Amino acid sequence: MSRPAIPGPQDITRVELPNGIVVLARANPFSPSVTISGGLMAGALNNPPDKLGLADFTASALMRGTQLRDMQAIYDTLESAGASLGFSAGTHTTGFHGKCLAEDLSMLLGLLAETLTQPAFPAAPVEKLRNQILTGLALRDDDTGDRAGMLFDELAYPDHPYSLPEEGQPWTVKAITRTDLAVFHAAHYGPRGLLLAVVGGVDPQVAAEAVAAALGNWTNPSQPEPPALPALGPHSAERRGRVPMPGKSQTDILLGAPGPARNDPQYVAAALANDVLGGFGMMGRIGESVREKAGLAYYAGSNLGGSLGPGPWSVSAGVHPKDEEQAIDLIKQEIRRLVTEPVSAEELADSQEAAIGRLPLSLETNGGVTGALLNMERHNLGLDYYQRYPEMMRAVTREDSLAAARQFLNPDALAIALAGPLEA
């Protein structure tokens, strides 16, 4: 009997090591390679207010040199095996992703352990990295979409950690020292809460044993618990702001509100409602109304976030400056329609079947499967989540989607961020 295409408890090996690391492994006998992905609880939420960007800087510096080898030796080791490894920091976690041939898994895990546990933060590579980060921030600050996104976070999440830019600001990145990197690493990097998924041409039990050999002895008794998120109440009135960017030809608009966390019981219904609203891009209501019928937007669509906390439920559009208010009014009309009347039976069915159809496509690669395993574990969805997924999707009713939209979207109390020229 062939194994199911959708991962589940019958073919996922889950092992929790004594030091707190959780290993999730699944075999793909048709693949000569192995993908590893994971993350530990050391993200932007841990940044000091005057050192925004510290988690991101630390993650990016891990591969710049360790106590055992310099940056060139690290990359020579990877390139000689045709392997890859990289780190990045998000709001809650620092993540890593790597790929190698099955026979090189121990090498890749060894290098992962070395960079995670023994970074050296050498002076010259760190300064070069700082300049690269500052260049990236300069490009971000000149982009209307990025600036609208940053302002939206401030408006949608007042007095909340989600309002702060994960990558920091130029002045906070300039203030970060090598000592700051080492202190952040020593304080927040540790095995408790670390998830590591291994998928590919390797026996799952062998993979779990290889992880244990590489990282099973790692300890950090001072590793803190992840910071708790403050309560986030609903907005009672519209919050609007603008980033003036003279010389730009387009205004980027981002409007919406905090949505459900990924493990919120309302998340699935909200995701289907979002598909109808604008998750399908030009095929959603926003694209049809703002772009196709009114001809106002270069692009228009909606997105539902959702992580360990209440990610944004937002609508974005790029418009000519003279069309800003008309576009905002049309978007509000569609949000109001979403929260006052159920979506049509046809719209819901289309969204359900599209979501179900996307699932196997997302699991075609080893990387797609590692992402699914991490998603199920990090958000406590259950290892049978994706096997239950079609049933869950089809169980959502028109009334369920209406209730989810009403819970999170209030057309009279949206955060509205604009970035672009002041005048057309």
Q: Where are the domains of the chain?
A: 13-215, 239-420
How high is the mean pLDDT in each 10-residue block of the chain (424 residues)? 73 98 97 97 96 98 97 97 97 98 98 98 98 98 98 96 96 98 97 97 98 98 91 88 96 97 96 92 84 90 93 96 96 97 96 94 96 97 97 97 97 97 74
378 exposure class (CB count in 10 Å sphere: 0-12, 13-18, 19+): buried
User: What pLDDT is attached to residue 290?
Assistant: 93
* CATH number listed for the domain at residues 13-215: 3.30.830.10
User: What pLDDT is attached to residue 2?
Assistant: 43
Alpha carbon dihedral 288, 294, 295, 300, in 10-degree steps, equals: -40
Q: How many CB atoms lie within 10 A of CB 351?
A: 24
- Enter the pTM of the model: 0.94
**Which one, of 7, 3, 1, 98, lies nearest residue 360 by Cα?**
7
- Sheet with 195-200: list strands edge to edge: 13-16, 22-27, 195-200, 33-40, 94-101, 84-89
Does this chain's domain 13-215 share its CATH topology with 239-420? yes
CATH architecture of 239-420: 2-Layer Sandwich (3.30)
